[in-house]
Amino acid sequence: MDVPLSIPLINPKASYLACKEEIDAAIARVMESGRYILGQEVSAFEQEFAAYIGVRFGIGVGSGTEALHVALLACGIKSGDEIITVSHTAVATVAAIQLCGARPILVDINPHTFVIDANQIEHAITSRTKVIIPVHLYGNVADMQVIRSIADVHGLYIVEDCAQSHGATYGGRKSGAWGNIAAFSFYPTKNLGAFGDAGMVVTDDPELSDRVRLLREYGWRQRHMSEITGLNSRLDELQAAILRVKLKYLDQWNEARRKKARIYAEMLAPLGVLCPSEGSGVKHVYHLYVIRTRERDALQIFLKEKGIETLIHYPVPVHLQKAYENLGYRQGDLPLTEQCSLEILSLPLFPEMGESQIEEVAEGIRSFLKNE
């Protein structure tokens, strides 16, 4: 029999309740307006979010996966091109590459920060390489100075996957402001989450911005007149209005996550659990709090029996999944990625989480390790 959850992994409803009156008013404003697709709310949110990231242009789209897809298309990616990224990521990263007909070239990660090992990139570059996609996983940020240098030397685009790094910084600049173009997801569980699927492409490049705007709606600059072959990926007014409210609280919520991450580290480090670490010059925003332990599977079962929810992000690396067998990778090709996938465990963390709940999770882990 399943034990009722006493501590959930995440709690997106809590962020709604934290600013319920403002969100309800924003929803009512949209409903009364009669304009539900690509109206004033979307335009305002595009400007506000781009300003928050520190770039000139934001283009709202239907999801984070679609944000990556159209960003790659805007960079001119086509069949036969190669794109360097990681296998330790949500499958959406690789799915977006293949939607363009391109080939993902997967490299290993830094096992402490869980993001791409920048030292692996140069060896993976060929004459067909067009893009590097650093995935800023769990709220951490990849080593963007090194990646920028490599891209500049080889004439490559950088498309940042910022689906989990809203507000994170590297060298004082926010993730999404380092590359040529970047993709964000506003899935409900993100640090900045909508009440459904939603995404955004951001860039400082006016030509890329123009191409993304055309691509997201059938290639239209003038309605019903397609300049290029496009698709349908539009951010709706309701989600934009909700996200405008929540954006005002993002930094506050991120600081709450960072504070709770510090408490976790203080409690768990003495137990021999490997806690997450920030890269040099990085301000981590802890979309997920991911530990490593060789007793992962047994620990997860133990915590579940105590009503503590955990998840594994991600249990099988992309290169070992059935759908991607045709990429030609085998067990052992990415050893650090594969080892991490056997040991990682995401613990409960959300801005509204109480310190007593963190203590309860830590005590559960302490009890488990004491009995091992």
Judge whether residue 146 has pLDDT over 90.
Answer: yes
CATH of residue 283: 3.90.1150.10
Is the pTM higher than 0.75? The answer reads: yes
**Model confidence at 2: pLDDT above 90:** no
Q: pLDDT (tens digit, 9 = 90+) per residue, 268-305?
A: 999 989 999 998 899 999 999 999 999 999 999 999 99
Average of per-residue pLDDT across 190-196 = 98
**5 falls within a domain:** no
The answer, yes or no, to whether residue 128 has pLDDT greater than 70, is yes
Residue 66's identity, in one-letter code, is E
- 57-61: strand order across its sheet: 57-61, 199-203, 181-185, 157-161, 129-132, 82-86, 103-107
Average pLDDT over residues 314-331: 97
Q: What pLDDT does residue 131 have?
A: 98
Q: What is the DSSP letter of 84?
A: E
Question: Of 247, 269, 285, at which residue does a domain stop?
Answer: 247
- Helices 92-99 and 64-74 pack at an angle, to 10 degrees, of 40
- Domain extent for 153: 13-107+114-247
- Is pLDDT larger for residue 19 or for residue 371? 19
* Residue 214 CB contacts under 8 Å (≥ 6 apart), including other chains: 220, 221, 227, 228, 230
- pLDDT of 1 reads 54
Q: Is residue 206 part of a domain?
A: yes
d(CA 358, CA 263): 8
Distance CA 367, CA 372 (A): 9
pLDDT at 31: 97
* pLDDT tens string 197-229: 999 999 999 999 999 999 999 999 999 999 999
Are 183 and 70 within one domain? Answer: yes
- Per-residue pLDDT, averaged over 110-115, amounts to 97
Domain end, chosen from 220, 247, 274, is at 247
In a domain, 94, yes or no: yes
Across the chain, what does the average pLDDT equal?
97
Indicate the residue type of 341.
S
How many independent structural domains does the chain possess? 2
Share of the chain above pLDDT 70, in %: 99
Residue 328 falls within a domain, yes or no?
Answer: yes
In a domain, 264, yes or no: yes
